[in-house]
Chain A
Amino acid sequence: MSSETKQILTTDGIPLEVSLKKAEKKNKIKAFLLVAPLLLFIIITYVFPIGDMLMRSVDDKMVTEMLPKTFKSMEKWDGQDLPPEEVFEAFYFDFQKLIEEEREGKLSTQLNYTKNGFKSIIKKLRRKSKSFEEGNYKEQIMSVHRRWADVEYWRAIKRRAPAYTYQKYLKGIDMYENEKGEIINVPEDRRVHRILWMRTLEIAFFVTVFCFLMAYPIAHLLATLPMKYSNLLMICVLLPFWTSLLVRTASWMILLQQQGIVNDFFVMIGLVSDDNRLEMMFNKTGSYVAMTQILLPFMVLPLYSVMKTISPSLMRAGKSLGGTPFVAFWKVYFPLTIPGIGAGCLLVFILAIGYYITPALVGGASGTLISNQIAFHMKSTLDWSFASAMGLMLLSGVLVIYWLYNKLVGIDNIKLG
């Protein structure tokens, strides 16, 4: 503002600009207060838990603090052969301190996450170490259990030295960083997480495809039928949606098992022989059928809401301009439904990727998905940091899909209704 131009004043003598700013500020605060509850809600229920999860998955200070002397003396150890006496001595003194504080159990749990087999040998060490004599700790500790004389276990301890670690993420894809800093695969017969990730993606992908193939005609019918029929059809779509998930899963089991209703019917009409009944349950078929049915409404509804807005005259116009019904559909109708397809596919895929009750019940040997593994570590092993790491990997997987979708289709094109 140059001094030559005369300032515009409001009636009470305050420069207009200042007064305007004041009013704007007031409005801004008002607006902020309006969204504040939602913002607070999102921060509390979303940002903090995810932040906490992230911290848990990388934070390994606990073990670092438990064995300070051991890790210090291990710095010089190259990890080739058994560590020298001073490491054993340092470990013995750290361990005695933990026993005093009654924390040796926690240590055993933590170390057992890194390498199975620590639980029992730490218990045994606690018992035996009471009668240890001074000096020559290496010999004494190694005599407690043969695993204490196995260099693999000492390498496992060394791997827990850093206060922050990404080992849990590596473990999620069946790899680990050894004491030399090399990232290597776990032995072949234990590479289960990759299988589970692939299986989860595969099931989610095919369920999405099946849902799309089935929902598209249904949604079209819903959108084009006269009101009195489409209402009935809509109820048919929504009714199962309101039924409990477990009830629907259980009914599929009754229908599809080998001694089930569908097989009984096939045998009755002579389609299959009695001792050659179809296997439709406790395998992938079971998962696909049950999950597709359960997730179908999530595809139908967005498709329907988009199709409802497409004027039938557009198809007629397409046909009158010389297109066959198929060309008119493909060039005119289909592109207009893409926002609905995008919304439906994203919804179904994201829901399917986190599913686990249904595949666990009907999926048989292939019914374990990555979310089962997360639940297992939450509930049974209490390895919450690993569960958090896998949860975040799943979340970032979803974000990648979201990003891909945005690149390919554009997120503004999504339409839920």
Chain B
Amino acid sequence: MKKISKLLLALSFLFSITTSAFAVTVASWGGAYTESQKLGYGDPTAKKLGIPINWVDYSGGLSEIKAQKEAGKITWDIMDVFAMDTINGCDEGLFVKFDFDKDFPAAPDGTPASKDFFTSMPSECAVGNILYSWNYAYNSDNVKGTPKTIKDFFNTKKFPGKRAIYKGALTNLEIALAADGIKPGKGGAKIYKALNTDKGVQRAMDKIKKLCTDPQGGCVFWSAGAQPPELLMSGEVVMATGWNGRFFNAAVGEGAPIVQVWDAQGLDYEYFVLVKGSPNEADAKKALAEMTSTEGLAGSAKYIAYAPWRKSSIAVMEKGEPWYKDGKTNMVPNMPTAPANTKNYFLVDPLYWADNGTELGEKWEAMKAGF
């Protein structure tokens, strides 16, 4: 039974391999994001190394690669994944473990790669790509006054109206505690300490519940990254949490009256992983090292407001300002890692979510059902 279904899976993948022969295939999220990767470091790397790079879209998660592996026909070489997936995929043996300083080039000034990246990797299989932020934004046409803090997001008396928040528990619990008076501490350590107790989780859920059941407030849950700016623009909500790159695009790219608030932002990471046993593993490894080099990572920030992982890349951007593709917008102040934006922040803890994600997800849904 199992063998035959494996055979079937293999058959279905046979159709998809024709395109990927000899080129390194990178699976990423598509849209403006993949565009920034392709223009920022994909094409330069392909040109420099003479290795064609083929970008394919996927919608996240590890189910596809697990299916490819079970079928014995892997077609992706590199994947762009969430932190939690690097941990789970590494545990499942889907990805190659790195010898970090050997596999990745040092910064131009000689700093080894492991020191040049902002923090250490959540798993041995991951190499950082961008940092993005879960912050919130408001439509300045619809809000009287200027929300400045995370408390304002939960303050329905001062700023009445609906809020849009992410459909799952991820980062919502963290900002709820930050708004409830817990100082994040270094990288959000205090928040996660509180969330490691049932009491802390309950406190966070109560805060969200209060906001969502408040007749002055109320919640709309978003699932796709394009939704928060959209909901703000249509006036459906007055404030929305979301990904900073999307807000930046709406505000700078399209000139929408959207203002971002960085207080208690959640810094989250995106990673590249190398698929174990992929068709062009050796070439893919070379391309990956080139793409995540100082110049490479800085390149993608030309096209999207996500911060490169390497400190040395930021230095490259500072020298090259205005760095944005329109030739007049300074990019460094728009980075989630800019000093003005990181006065109060937390680092989204992948291990906490890998540990507790399922259980918290169940509690979260049970809470939502009570609205």
Q: How far is the CB of A247 from chain B (nearest CB, A)?
A: 15
Q: Does B48 contact A (CB under 8 A)?
A: no
The answer to whether the Cβ of B91 comes within 8 Å of any Cβ in the partner chain is: yes
Set A49, A190, A257, A258: member contacting B363, Cβ < 8 A = A190
Whole-angstrom distance between the alpha carbons of A380 and B83 in the complex? Answer: 12
Q: Is B72 an interface residue when CB atoms closer than 8 A count as contact?
A: no
Chain B residues whose C-beta falls within 8 Å of the C-beta of A105 in the assembled complex: 90-93
- A192-B369, A382-B92 known; A49 and B5 CB under 8 Å? yes
Is B351 in contact with A119, judged by CB distance below 8 angstroms? yes
Contact with A along B344-371 (1 / 0, CB 8 A): 0000000110111111111101111101
Which of chain B's residues 201-222 have a Cβ closer than 8 Å to chain A?
212, 219-221
Residue numbers in A under 8 Å from B90 (CB-CB): 105
Contact of B221 with A112 in the complex, beta carbons under 8 Å: no
Task: Please give me the residue from chain B that is nearest to A199 by CB atom.
Answer: B369
Q: Are A380 and B359 in contact (CB under 8 A)?
A: no
In the complex, whether A44 has a CB less than 8 A from a CB of chain B is yes
Please state if B8 and A365 are interface contacts (CB–CB under 8 Å).
Answer: no
Q: Do residues B356 and A117 form an inter-chain contact, with CB atoms below 8 A?
A: yes
Closest to B1 in A: A51
Q: Select one of B5, B62, B223 contacting A361, CB under 8 A.
A: B223
Within the assembled complex, what's the spacing in Å between the Cα atoms of A376 and B60?
11
Q: How far is the CB of A290 from chain B (nearest CB, A)?
A: 15
- Cα distance, A379 to B234, chains bound together (Å): 31
With A48-B5, A378-B63 as known contacts, state yes or no: A109 contacts B365, CB within 8 Å: no
Number of A-B residue pairs having CB atoms within 8 Å of each other in the complex = 123
B225 to chain A, nearest CB (A): 14
Are B368 and A116 interface neighbours, CB within 8 A? no
A382 touches B234 (CB 8 A): no
Q: How far is the CB of B90 from chain A (nearest CB, A)?
A: 6
Contacting residues, chain B, for A55 (C-beta < 8 A): 1-2
With an 8 A cutoff between CB atoms, is A17 at the interface?
no
Contact pattern, A 180-224, Cβ under 8 Å of B = 1, otherwise 0: 000000000111110110010000000000000000000000000
Task: Say whether B235 faces chain A, with CB atoms less than 8 Å apart.
Answer: yes
Whether the pair A282, B366 counts as a contact (CB closer than 8 A) is: no
Instruction: Tell me if A108 and B91 are in contact (CB < 8 A).
Output: yes
Which residue of chain B is the closest to A51 with respect to CB atoms?
Answer: B1
Looking across the interface, which residue of chain A has its beta carbon closest to that of B235?
A: A259
A193 — which chain B residues lie within 8 A by C-beta? 362
Contacts of A373 in B (CB 8 A): 365
Bound CA–CA A302/B61 (angstroms): 39
Q: Bound state CA distance, A79 and B265, in angstroms? A: 44
A163 to chain B, nearest CB (A): 15
Interface string of A155-193 (1 = CB under 8 A from B): 000000000000000000000000000000000011111
Task: Tell me if B5 and A257 are in contact (CB < 8 A).
Answer: no
Nearest chain A residue, comparing its CB with the CB of B231: A257
- With A109-B88, A195-B365 known as contacts, the answer to whether A259 contacts B234 (CB < 8 A) is yes
Within 8 A of B (CB), among A15-48: 44, 48
CA gap between A380 and B360 in the complex, in Å: 14
The majority secondary structure among interface residues of chain A is: helix
Contacting pair A48 B4 (CB below 8 A): yes
Which residues of B lie under 8 Å from residue A192 when comparing CB positions? 362-363, 365-366, 369
Bound CA span A190–B362, Å = 5
Rounded to whole Å, the gap between the CB of B236 and the closest CB of chain A is: 5
A189 and B366 contacting across the interface, CB-CB below 8 Å:
yes
On chain A, the residues within 8 Å of B351 by CB distance are: 119-120, 123
The verdict on A116 contacting B220 (CB below 8 Å), with A106-B93, A109-B91 known, is no
B93 touches A52 (CB 8 A): no
Say which residue of A52, A190, A368 sits within 8 Å of B368 (CB atoms). Answer: A368
Task: Bits for B5-30, please: 1 = Cβ < 8 Å to A, else 0.
Answer: 10010000000000000000000000
User: Residue A364 at the B interface, CB < 8 A?
Assistant: yes
CB-defined contacts of A376 to chain B, threshold 8 Å: 361
Are A365 and B356 in touch, CB under 8 angstroms? no
Q: Does A241 make an interface contact (CB < 8 A)?
A: no
Determine if B371 and A365 form an interchain contact, defined as CB atoms under 8 angstroms apart.
yes
Shortest CB–CB separation between residue B93 and chain A, in angstroms? 7
Q: Is the CB of A368 within 8 A of B365?
A: yes
What does the 1/0 interface line of B71-114 toward A look like (CB < 8 Å)? 00000000000001001101111000000000000000000000
Does A315 sit within 8 A of B, measured CB to CB?
no
Contact B234 A366 (CB under 8 A): no
* A window 274-317: CB within 8 A of B: 282
CB closest residue in chain A, given B212: A365
| Min CB gap B20→A, angstroms | 22
- Complex alpha-carbon distance, A282 and B61, angstroms: 26
Residues of A near B236 (CB, < 8 A) are: 257-259
A381 proximal to B (CB < 8 A): yes
CB distance from B59 to the nearest CB of A (A): 8
CB proximity of B42 to chain A, nearest CB, Å: 25
A381 vs B88: C-alpha distance when bound (angstroms): 8
What's the Cα separation between A366 and B367 when bound, in Å?
Answer: 11
Q: Is A391 an interface residue (CB 8 A)?
A: no
What is the distance, in angstroms, from B126's C-beta to the closest C-beta of chain A?
Answer: 13
- Residues of A within 8 Å of B61, CB to CB, are 378-380
Interface pair B368/A365, CB less than 8 Å apart: yes
Q: Which residue of B has the minimal Cβ distance to A379?
A: B61
Contact A190 B366 (CB under 8 A): yes
A416 at the binding interface (Cβ < 8 Å): no
A189 to B60, CA, bound (A): 29
From A109, A190, A367, A368, B359 is in contact (CB under 8 Å) with A190
How far is B92's CA from A102's CA once the two chains are assembled, in angstroms? 9
Q: How far is the CB of B368 from chain A (nearest CB, A)?
A: 4
Distance in angstroms between the alpha carbons of A258 and B220 in the assembled complex: 11
Q: Which residues of B contact A360 (CB under 8 A)?
A: 167, 223
Fill in one digit per residue for A349-383: 1 if any B CB lies within 8 Å of its CB, else 0. Answer: 00000000000110011111000010010111111
Asked if B66 lies at the interface with its beta carbon under 8 angstroms from chain A, I say yes
- Residue A118 at the chain B interface, CB threshold 8 Å: yes
Bound-state Cα–Cα, A260 to B230, Å: 13
Contact A379 B62 (CB under 8 A): yes
What residues on B are CB-neighbors of A103 within 8 Å? 93
A375 to chain B, nearest CB (A): 9
| In the bound complex, CA of A361 to CA of B222 (Å) | 8
Q: Which residue on A lies nearest to B90, using beta carbons?
A: A105
Which residues of A106-139 are within 8 A (CB) of B?
106, 108-109, 112-113, 116-120, 123
Candidates B2, B92, B221; contact of A282 at CB < 8 Å: B221
Contact call B63/A44, Cβ cutoff below 8 A:
no
Assembly CA distance A123 to B87 (angstroms): 10
CB distance from A116 to the nearest CB of B (A): 4
Q: Quick check: B355 and A112 within 8 Å, CB to CB?
A: yes
What are 15 A-B residue pairs whose CB atoms fall within 8 Å in the complex?
Answer: A52-B2, A105-B93, A116-B356, A119-B87, A120-B351, A120-B354, A190-B359, A192-B363, A257-B234, A259-B234, A282-B221, A365-B371, A379-B62, A382-B88, A384-B66
Mark A residues whose CB is within 8 Å of B.
44, 48-49, 51-52, 55, 102-103, 105-106, 108-109, 112-113, 116-120, 123, 189-193, 195-196, 199, 257-260, 282, 360-361, 364-368, 373, 376, 378-384
